[in-house]
């Protein structure tokens, strides 16, 4: 009995995980060493500095949490929220809904503004809400993976800053695929994940806290209610001359993240973004040539997550299943109100290459 023997290379074109480049696989297989070994501390320091470059931030508290993107979301809320804090969550898909759920469980007083799935958060609605209410935190998803929509995080950030709230942004899908500039946008609290555009297997959640966010953390009246994700303790492992054990770091996953970040920075952020845009344009042109329609208006489309309407009379699940079993390609289904209505084609990180787009278009044509 060994299910591992059936695992084989798959072209990952869904909403994540994405394809992993050889340099990352090689790093994952390096010898495991101790989590307080000075050679490992050196690896950690380079990861922090590369994360700051990819996120375009000077934030000292920038580090990968142990866990997937959702652990990053939980980390941000659990460290920032004290019971009764007023939080505004902007929702236009699954991950905004998840933020609302997480914040509510922590005893925050949560307000929401909801927007139709497939459309972005509207800046005017946020402005009106902030004019009449005071919040400690305003939270938004930059790249909504459930619909393929990019929201205007820079414009929202300017409003949040002048309203005196802390600004939280979900960059799980955007980081490494489109520009993410935390300091320029005034983002205070940020989280991401490794398996989308960073092209590292799932398992880590890079986060970043601005000095204002760290001040809120330091001034808490109550302990962070989750021991494992308590950033006030974890920074003593990630910062300073002498490091203190909190929990054993996932050593080999961190090697993988190091290699993934290094791969991106070697290519250069601008060329990486341009490669995502080019793959997206090639895919959209191919799908439209086959008579299909995109869900999202061109100006709000994400290059790394392409939602396309399923043509009438097509058994959408059968198409996805045949793509996987006969062509070795995974694509994503619709979620929530979009289930059965769209397919989601991911072009994330290492997946976003012309030969891969060519292959999925040819395979889809043959299956249809």
Which residues are near ligand PLP by CB under 6 A? 16, 68-70, 73, 95, 141, 143, 145, 170, 172-173, 193, 202
- 72-92 core/surface letters (b: 16 or more CB in 10 A; e: else): bbbbbbbbbbbeebebbbbbb
Minimum CB–partner distance for residue 66 and ligand PLP (Å)? 12
Residue whose CB is less far from ligand PLP, 73 or 319: 73
d(CA 74, CA 303): 26
Three-state SS for 14? Answer: coil
Minimum CB–partner distance for residue 245 and ligand PLP (Å)? 25
d(CA 118, CA 295): 7
Residue whose CB is less far from ligand PLP, 48 or 98: 98
Minimum CB–partner distance for residue 115 and ligand PLP (Å)? 15
Residue whose CB is less far from ligand PLP, 121 or 361: 121
Minimum CB–partner distance for residue 53 and ligand PLP (Å)? 21
Residue whose CB is less far from ligand PLP, 40 or 117: 117
Of 173, 113, 174, 110, the C-alpha closest to 137 is: 110
Asked if residues 187 and 141 have their Cβ atoms less than 8 Å apart, the reply is no
CA 168 to chain CA centroid, nearest Å: 13
d(CA 249, CA 206): 13
Question: By beta-carbon distance, which residue lies closest to ligand PLP?
Answer: 69
Asked if residues 135 and 86 have their Cβ atoms less than 8 Å apart, the reply is yes
Minimum CB–partner distance for residue 192 and ligand PLP (Å)? 8
What is residue 242's DSSP assignment? S
Residue whose CB is less far from ligand PLP, 188 or 361: 188
Minimum CB–partner distance for residue 366 and ligand PLP (Å)? 29
Provide CB contacts within 8 A for 137, sequence distance 6+. Answer: 80, 81, 85, 86, 87, 88, 103, 108, 165, 166, 167, 168, 189
DSSP assignment of 91-126, as one string?
ESSHHHHHHHHHHHHTT-EEEEEE--TTSPPPHHHH
CA 366 to chain CA centroid, nearest Å: 32
Residue whose CB is less far from ligand PLP, 136 or 150: 150
Residue whose CB is less far from ligand PLP, 57 or 68: 68
Rounded to 5°, angle at Cα 71 from 166 and 212: 20
Residue whose CB is less far from ligand PLP, 130 or 200: 200
Minimum CB–partner distance for residue 67 and ligand PLP (Å)? 8
Provide CB contacts within 8 A for 166, sequence distance 6+. Answer: 80, 136, 137, 138, 160, 188, 189, 210, 212, 213, 216
CA 78 to chain CA centroid, nearest Å: 18
Minimum CB–partner distance for residue 260 and ligand PLP (Å)? 14
Residue positions counted in the chain:
368
Residue whose CB is less far from ligand PLP, 28 or 361: 28
Residue whose CB is less far from ligand PLP, 228 or 286: 228
Minimum CB–partner distance for residue 283 and ligand PLP (Å)? 18
Minimum CB–partner distance for residue 75 and ligand PLP (Å)? 11
Asked if residues 113 and 121 have their Cβ atoms less than 8 Å apart, the reply is yes
């Amino acid at each position: 009995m060994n299910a591992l023997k059936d695992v084989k290379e798959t072209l990952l074109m869904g909403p994540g995980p994405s394809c992993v480049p050889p340099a990352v696989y090689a790093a994952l297989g390096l010898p495991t060493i101790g989590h307080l070994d000075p050679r490992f501390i050196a690896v950690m320091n380079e990861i922090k500095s590369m994360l700051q470059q990819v996120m375009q931030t000077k934030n000292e508290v920038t580090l990968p949490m142990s866990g997937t993107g959702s652990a990053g979301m939980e980390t941000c809320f659990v460290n920032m929220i004290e019971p009764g804090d007023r939080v505004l969550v902007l929702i236009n898909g699954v991950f905004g809904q998840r933020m609302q759920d997480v914040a509510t469980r922590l005893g925050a007083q949560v307000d929401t503004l909801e927007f139709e799935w497939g459309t972005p958060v509207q800046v005017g609605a946020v402005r009106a809400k902030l004019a009449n209410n005071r919040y400690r935190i305003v939270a938004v998803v930059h790249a909504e993976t459930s619909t393929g929509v990019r929201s205007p995080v820079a414009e929202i950030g300017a409003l949040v800053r002048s309203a005196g709230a802390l600004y939280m942004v979900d960059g799980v899908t955007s980081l490494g695929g489109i520009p993410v500039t935390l300091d320029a946008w005034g983002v205070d609290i940020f989280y991401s994940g490794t398996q989308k555009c960073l092209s590292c297997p799932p398992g880590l959640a890079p986060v970043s806290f601005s000095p204002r966010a760290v001040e809120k953390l330091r001034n808490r009246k109550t302990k962070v209610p989750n021991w494992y994700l308590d950033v006030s303790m974890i920074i003593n492992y990630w910062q300073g001359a002498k490091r203190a054990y909190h929990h054993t770091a996932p050593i080999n996953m961190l090697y993988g993240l190091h290699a993934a970040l290094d791969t991106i920075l070697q290519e250069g952020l601008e060329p990486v973004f341009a490669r995502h845009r080019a793959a997206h344009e090639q895919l959209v042109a191919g799908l439209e040539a086959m008579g299909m329609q995109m869900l999202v208006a061109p100006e709000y489309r994400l290059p790394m997550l392409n939602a396309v309407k399923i043509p009438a009379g097509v058994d959408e699940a059968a198409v996805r299943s045949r793509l996987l079993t006969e062509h070795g390609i995974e694509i994503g289904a619709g979620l929530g109100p979009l289930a059965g209505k769209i397919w989601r084609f991911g072009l994330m990180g290492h997946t976003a290459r012309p030969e891969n787009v060519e292959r999925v278009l040819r395979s889809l044509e043959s299956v249809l």
